[in-house]
Structure 1
Amino acid sequence: AEIGDTESLKVGHMVLAVARPGESGLSASWGVVSAKGGAGRNWCGGQIDSFLRLDLSLYPGFS
């Protein structure tokens, strides 16, 4: 699989999260981009350059 450029993602695009949570092999979850945002600060005051909000299930081992 090819890893894409996050700048080209738009709200509504389908995304795939893949993880290797341990010795059990790969896990995957389909979802959709529900929001994109620009620069800001997190709750601790740290700088955020940009973010994606995804509507998908994250299972143990996903990070």
Structure 2
Amino acid sequence: MKWTDTLDIAIALCDAHPDTDPLTVRFTDLRQWVMDLSEFNDDPARCGEKVLEAIQMAWIDEV
């Protein structure tokens, strides 16, 4: 997965953190959680606030 795979990341986060409300997750934690996903393989420097917002919105939609 890459940073642009927001839906796939959101689904993986739902599985990894089923009892977490995505609205309560700080972007610093969200970034780390994404990088901790076993399927994730992208450059951490390519992540910005807009990418994290897109991931968070996709995660909210999945919940």
Classify the TM-score, shorter chain. under 0.3
Quick check: which one's helix share is greater?
A: 2
Quick check: which one's strand share is greater?
A: 1
Q: Compare relative contact order (CA 8 Å, sep 6+) and give the higher one, 1 or 2.
A: 2
Report the TM-score, using the length of structure 1 for normalisation: 0.26
Report the TM-score, using the length of structure 2 for normalisation: 0.26
